[in-house]
Structure formats: C-alpha cells, structure tokens
Amino acid sequence: MQRLKKVAKGLGILLGLLVPLAVIAGVAMHESRPSGEPGEGADALAREVQDAVGQAAWDDARYVAFDFAGRMRHRWDRERGLAYVTWGDLPAAGPGENEAWLRLGDRSGVVHVAGQRVRGEEADELLATAWGRHINDTFWLFPFRTFFDEGVTRSLVGDDLLIEYASGGATPGDAYLWHLGNDGRPTGWEMWVSIIPIGGVDASWTDWEERAGVHFATRHSLGPMTLELTDITVGELPAPDPFAPLF
C-alpha cells in the first residue's frame, strides 16, 4: 500500500509538471488570427481557387460518396438534401454498426444499429452525431463551395486567402488561411477553429485527384496525424436508391 501511495504521488507530480508544460507549449505554438483586406481582390482570388478545383463541375454533381479517414462512410444526394452516414467497426465495404439516413433540412431521419432500427432518444443522439460528421467531413472534402455563402468574409493576407465564417456549419466563428500553389489549388491551410485551443494549426492539402471534373485533396497532414479521403465518387444517383429508408 505504501508503494502504491508513492507511485500515485509520483504520477501526480509528473502530471503536475506535464500540464503546465503542455499549456506553455500551446501558448508558444499559438498564432493570432491575421487581419486581411476584404474587397474585390479577395473575391477574385476566391473565384480563382474555385475555378482551379472545379466548382462548376461540383455545382452540376447530384451525388457524392466518400470514406473519411477510414472511420466514416458518406453518401450525399445534394439535389434532395439527403445524406447517409455509417460508422463503427467499418468494414472495407458495406455498412458499419451504426447507419443514419438524414434529411439535412430538419435533421430528421432513420437510424439502424447492428441492422435493427432504433427510435427515441438513442436515435436522436445518433442522428445528431451523423449530422455533425456530415458537416465536418464534407467540409474537408470540398469547402470551396462555401466561399460565397451568407456570413462568409473573404480577405487577402499577402498572397494568401483568409476565409472567415460568421455563421453556418457546426462551429460558426471559425477561420481558415489558405496557402495556394502555382496551379491555384491549395497546398494547405492554417486554422482558427473552436475545437482546437491553439490558433494557426497547419494542415496540408495534397494528393489531389479528379472526379468528374472536380478536384479533391485526398491527404491532409496535421502534425503526426494524417486524414485520408478515399473511394470518392461524383455523379448521378445510383440505383437502387441508397436513401430509400427515408421514403
């Protein structure tokens, strides 16, 4: 028992040292959000980026499907405002343990767990999770579609493009400083987002792939972590209707 007390005391001292060090490291890494110059120049650059990634082709695409980081599988009917999200013990193909079919307009839908429909509070919680993942993961897939949404400000910071969101999405108030390559497509961004306490965190935008005229960065490195987007499909709604449970 005395030994356990000594171990616990030692761990307490270690944690007491690590927490301040983590705070100090976070403060050292933190960057304040820059102030940009809004106006016609920023709007023009934002449209150049949209052209470079195939915004026009995106606008024409009804159906989008992709896997996010090997953890979430998405199907999105952009014409009808419907989404399907599956996760939990996700196999190489087919559904995971949890499946949610969503009407994005009112966030209602149908939920299955292990192949069985669930209702009530459990279903509501899973629908909320699915909606949040849809918003987050489709933003990583193609955020350029939001550049001219209501509540979005575009500014120039040197040669970079600062996009700030006063409203919309799951975390309004977020901002992203885009770094651009010679081809007009991004090479990375710096983030000021509510879910990360440190401002100016970098993420790469690399391994670009084209689908039906739309360009997607399929690899994002954030320090030691890498997010990959795979199995991206863009086109017409497949048959049978993947959103049939909603009807």
Q: How are strands ordered across the β-sheet holding 108-113?
A: 116-118, 108-113, 98-103, 82-87, 72-77, 63-68, 225-235, 214-222, 206-211
With cut-offs at 50, 70 and 90, classify the pLDDT of residue 6: very low
pLDDT of residue 21: 31
**What angle is formed at CA 163 by the lines to CA 46 and CA 68, rounded to 5 degrees?**
95
Note whether 173 and 214 are same-domain residues.
yes
pLDDT reading at 5 higher than 70 = no
How does the average pLDDT of the chain come out, rounded?
A: 89
Separation of alpha carbons 107 and 110, rounded Å: 10
User: Is position 126 within any domain?
Assistant: no
User: Is position 236 within any domain?
Assistant: yes
pLDDT reading at 15 higher than 70 = no
Note whether 9 and 43 are same-domain residues.
no
Note whether 80 and 197 are same-domain residues.
yes
For residue range 188-222, list pLDDT tens digits in order. 999 999 888 899 999 999 999 999 999 999 999 99
> For residue 7, what are the domain limits?
1-30
pLDDT of residue 13: 38
Note whether 227 and 173 are same-domain residues.
yes
Note whether 1 and 79 are same-domain residues.
no
Separation of alpha carbons 142 and 131, rounded Å: 16
> Per the structure block, which two tokens stand in for 41?
């120049």
pLDDT of residue 156: 98
Note whether 6 and 67 are same-domain residues.
no
pLDDT of residue 196: 87
What is the number of structural domains in the chain? Answer: 2
Strand partners, 206: 219
Which pTM value belongs to this model? 0.86
For residue range 111-142, list pLDDT tens digits in order. 999 999 999 999 999 999 999 999 999 999 99
With cut-offs at 50, 70 and 90, classify the pLDDT of residue 167: confident
- Compute the average pLDDT of residues 139-165: 97
Note whether 193 and 225 are same-domain residues.
yes
> Per the structure block, which two tokens stand in for 246?
């909603």
User: Is position 39 within any domain?
Assistant: yes
Note whether 74 and 10 are same-domain residues.
no
Note whether 214 and 226 are same-domain residues.
yes
Tell me the three state secondary structure of residue 46: helix
Note whether 80 and 2 are same-domain residues.
no
User: Is position 60 within any domain?
Assistant: yes
240 upstream amide cis, omega within 30 of 0: yes
User: Is position 91 within any domain?
Assistant: no
Question: Would you say 190 and 58 are in contact if contact means Cβ atoms under 8 Å apart?
Answer: no
- Compute the average pLDDT of residues 174-192: 97
User: Is position 113 within any domain?
Assistant: no
- Compute the average pLDDT of residues 43-67: 98
pLDDT of residue 243: 98
Note whether 174 and 203 are same-domain residues.
yes
For residue range 71-110, list pLDDT tens digits in order. 999 999 999 999 999 999 999 989 999 999 999 999 999 9
User: Is position 118 within any domain?
Assistant: no
The structure tokens 């009808």 sit at 80
